[in-house]
Structure formats: C-alpha cells, structure tokens
Structure 1
C-alpha cells in the first residue's frame, strides 16, 4: 500500500416501492461515497428516486443509476432473456428517469451499475454487455460503468470509449475465477462483520481476496460495494469505513 491509497464505498439504495422500504437510505448516505439508486425495474419508484437523489446531493454523495432487468417480483435477481435492442432501450429509460431527479436535486447521474441477474450476466455475456453499453450511449452521456474487473461489460465499454470503474464486494464470497459465488449457494454472502471488515481492508490495501477454496484472488478495484439490503447493513457499513480509515485508506468517490 502507498500513502495515496483510496477507495470508493458504494451501496444499493432506494430499494423500496410505495410504502415498502428495504434500505435505510438516510443512514447509509452518511457512510458511503457513491449511491447506486434503483431506477424502478427491480425496486424503486418516482417518489423514492426523488427522495434519495435529494439526500445524496445534500450530503455530497455521488449518484449512480442501478439498472436492472424488468423484474419487480424477483427483485431483479432472476435470470431473464431480453432481446438486446429491448434491453438497450430499457437501460436508457432507467438512466433517463433517474437523471430527472438528480438534476432537480442540483446533481447529476455520475455512473451506471447493473443490478442482480443483469450484473452477473454481463460478466460473461457479450451480447447483453453490448446492450447495456448501447443503452448508456443512447442517453448521449459517456457515463462510467461500474462492474467486475475483466468482465465482458468492461471490455465492451472500453471498445465503445466509455470509462470503466472496477468493483469488489466486501460481503460476497468469490470463486477462484474472481467471480461472485451465486446467491443460491451456501456461503455466498459473508455474514461475520469482522470478516467483512478484514476482507475490505485487504482488498483496498493489497487488491487480493481469499476465494471460497482458500486461494488468493486478485480483485483490484476502485470501488467497494456494501449491500444495503442485508441485516445490520448500516452498522456493518460504519464498521467497514472505520476499519478502512484506521488502516490508512482514504474513503472517497472515484475520480
């Protein structure tokens, strides 16, 4: 680690609908530096998006569009086959919806991050990755794409001239290939707070995490994701941030 080591902390926010709320947006926005705001396809609605954008802008937290397959019932975590032209249009639609509320709050959509099944699909699926990139290009903005290092999404975005931001996960188990263990498998989510903090510091300082099989895996990332829908998410986020800062890592939004 050098004295200039820093990392962005992002969390999935605005994951509610109507009277139902899943994430403690207000408290998490006091910890993270980037907010992945649900855009209505897996969660979120107009009122929620407006509220989260206003809170994020007030606290200087960067706003990102968390785009998803159209899957409210499955929280965007079910595998779906969506034609590429349809997916591109729906990605652009979600970004555009959030952009309205970001501008109203005096801010802007600063990046895009796929959610759930779409996030995992574009790690290896060239066509779906291209559709997400095409959706971003449709907006007329050259927005950075947040995702796993070495993913098809980042390869495709790079060819299209879009910036990419590499991401790691503090509370998710990794395979030896550097991908996330599917949520349906045992041990996919790391629940021990001390282990999550330890992994976060290791990823920030050395760019390495221990895979499920015990082997070290390179995960050099500029942003670290903290899931807002896990039990005790706010306390865990605070512990991770405190642990990073105690280890000499600056917590700040990616450039």
Structure 2
C-alpha cells in the first residue's frame, strides 16, 4: 500500500513463514518511521542502519529491540548482535530483534541457524479514512490529563502500577499531536482507552484497550470510530495500527472496520 499516492492492492498470498509474498517496501519504511515517532524510546542508537531502541523503565518490546532498517546491511551480523546484547544486558533487558520485511535475509538465516525463538507475530494494518462515513461532528473529545489516561490504561490492561511513570514519560515525549480517548462507566469506572497520534497525513491508533467486562458490547467499535473521526477531522488521510495476530477479537474488529494488511513483523530472541 503506497501511503503517499494511489492505493495498491495489499498482499493476499502468504509465505511459509507467515509473511506476505510481496510487500511495498516504501510503505513499510514510512510506517516504521512514523511508528518510532508515535512510540518513542528513551534511548536510540544506530549501528549502521540497525536502530537500537532501549527504555529502562518500560518492558514494551517495541521500546526494547534491535530494528534493522535496510535489507542490504548484513555485514558482521554475529559481532554486531553480540555488541547489541551487551547494551541490552546493561539495562537488564533480553536481546530482542524486531524482524520486519526490512530485515536482511542473511540476518534471518543467521538467527534461524542459531536457533533463535520467534514470538509476538504481529500485523500492521491501514485504513483509507476517505472511505469511511463518520457523519458530522464528533461525539467524544480527547482528554488532556495524561495521568488519568495512564491510570485507566494500566487498570484496563492489568499492568503493573510501577509502569505508570515510564508510560507517562513515553506519552509526554511523543512529538506529533496526540488524542487521548477515555470511555468510562459510572458504575465500573474506565471501560476503554486509545491513544491517537496524528503525524501529517497519517494517524496511528495506539494503546487501544477495552475492559473485559464490556467486551463484545460495541464499546470497542465506538472507541475506534471516535478515534478515527478525530484523526480525520485533524486532517489525517490514513490510519494505521499494530496488533498481535493471535489477538483474534481485535483483528476481527479492525478488519470489520475496513483495515487491511500492509505487512507483518515478529520478534526474535536467542535461545536460552
């Protein structure tokens, strides 16, 4: 899918490793770039075209991973991975590589030969906002209170309270404009949250979560519609998001809303 010109048909065939046979690499590169801006790591270092992201205070895999960005950059793979591993160890993080269509095939072959595990297979989906009819106006406005949003996200996601300072810091570090959406019920409290990052003509849907008590009741769809409506009113032409492939209810929600696959990625770690 070309994110800057006319849409191209998304991949429909799938390789044995789960990746689409054909992907549009310029679209992958652009979505990777906006994804990094939408979820900034505390520490960013480059080794050639490998982007090494580390965040001591938060366990997010996206914030603690090696991200190869050029399929042709495969020199000294073993040495560079060992060097990256030392950086991760300094922060007590396991060495993790985020494998995308930009990962050199030689690096993938090396990890395969060394018995690296794979986990958290994920999809990157996109939606042309011009194709959706949201009606006039906006029925839910984003809130301004980052602390309140973070408290709700931690509660709904069942995350450790200790992650609040780091999550607050991450959100405050996002440079593009953000919309913090929070749905609440008078009896049970927070029911759903989403973070929308508006970056030029793109809008990323982040931190999307619905409380278990209200799932399958239309809350997720209402939250998604509110998030997308705000993004379009801000001028975004396309929306994108990342979701684990194993999260079938979420994938079904997004596909039903019209999102289509652009590419896939997964995480790799050395065998213990």
TM-score normalised according to structure 1 size: 0.31
Higher helix share: 1
Which of the two has higher C-alpha Rg?
Answer: 2
More strand by share: 2
